[in-house]
A and B are shown apart, each in its own frame.
Chain A
Amino acid sequence: MHDTGKVLLGLAVFAGVVTGPVWYGLGHGRGAPPELAKPVEGTRCVEPTPIMRAQHMEILNRWRDAVVRRGETVYVAGDGQRYRISLTGTCLRCHVEPAKFCIKCHEYAGVQAFCWDCHQEKRRVVTAARGGMGGQP
């Protein structure tokens, strides 16, 4: 055991390289989670916030499969409430600006979501005649 110094130095360099991105992020003011825009309509999401935070991507994937593959357009939430399955028509009614909510958080988390390549980012007003259950995906 004559190389303790070299080993420790090597370990220090390794740890530095591996955790580098973290220090870089902290140094550029990206340490704290971003401030997200508050939803405008409604007081609650389709599911409780912790579930949405952790599983929104899975819920959205199931929504996609339900509408596109099976033609099912109604989501029955955990509390029994029914919602129209629609990214633009339902999600964006409250989260009016994806740039200040979805995109902002994904940027912070380093996740690339390409929903907006196709789905409209513009908030849509659902007309009374068609009710909350009409509209498009």
Chain B
Amino acid sequence: MRRRSFLKIAGLSLAGAGGLPVVKALVPGERTEPGPAALRGKRWAMVVDQRKCNAKPGCQVCIEACHRAHNVPAVKDPRHEVKWLWKEHLENVFPERVTPYLPAEVKARPTMVLCNHCDDPPCVRVCPTEATWRRPDGIVMMDEHRCIGCRYCITGCPYGARSFNFEDPRLSLRGDPTDYPTRTKGVVEKCTFCTERLAEGRPPACVEACQAIDVGALVFGDAADPGSAVSALLRGNDLARRKPSLGTSPHVFYIL
């Protein structure tokens, strides 16, 4: 082959390779778009008004709504428990706030906990497959298709917000499942701020459930939008965040 013809063929091949993305873009299945009613935020956040929550002791409405909606299994063995949203003793949620003089009943006060959707999430940093990642709107999302079950994220999360499926979750579903996909044995799951509901214009299931019983302890919205209810609460209150010294910048805020 002559040098000239070699260069010609090489050049044409390069041009062809450059055109490949264009051809691929025309293949069916490439055109997708957000739903017409989808809620869009720049920085989703939640405020937990723990005072309102405390006013209704023993209430499980938000937890049940979440776990029902997402087919979170009710595993009996506490070591294999799976949970997205639950209550924890105050002294474990805010250990740095505990003084030796805090009354025992305050220490044991049930406090709502869930994924904090951090600005700098350690779980995302350690995930080897990018099965968990931070969306541009601040939600720390899970792609169960990609999770290989290594559990680095569970170790990385300083809030214990993640659960591993040690057994087939379909064996312990809560009644008739909704059409939200279950998970399988061997993957990690957690709260996603209900991305599937935001995509169709609905607030997270826990927030809706809490509002429906007129408690309104959970407020969800765009912290970057000055007009949102969440922004008003963020500005007007002395808010607590979990383990702020770690620098993860949680975006679940507490009014204690």
Contacts and interface: CB of A to CB of B under 8 A. Distances in A.
B179 A59 contact: no
Contact of B34 (A73, A77, A124): A73
A71 B28 contact: no
Interface centre among A51, A73, A124 (most CB of B within 10 A): A73
A132 to B, nearest CB: 11
Interface in B116-156: 135, 141, 143-145
Determine the interface band of chain B, counting residues with CB < 8 A from chain A.
Answer: 20 to 34
Contact of A55 (B28, B144, B145, B198): B28
Contacts of A67: 199
B195 interface: yes
Interface string B32-55: 111111100000000000000000
B196 A136 contact: yes
A2 interface: no
A124 B179 contact: yes
Given A55-B28, A136-B178, A71 B135 contact: yes
Interface residues of A, number: 39
A64 B184 CA distance: 17
B30 interface: yes
A73 B35 contact: yes
B200 A130 contact: yes
Nearest to A82: B33
Interface of A: 47, 51, 55, 58-59, 62-64, 66-78, 84-86, 88-89, 114, 117-120, 122, 124, 130, 133-137
Given A72-B35, A118-B182, A122-B177, 6 more contacts: A75-B32, A118-B144, A118-B181, A134-B200, A136-B181, A137-B196
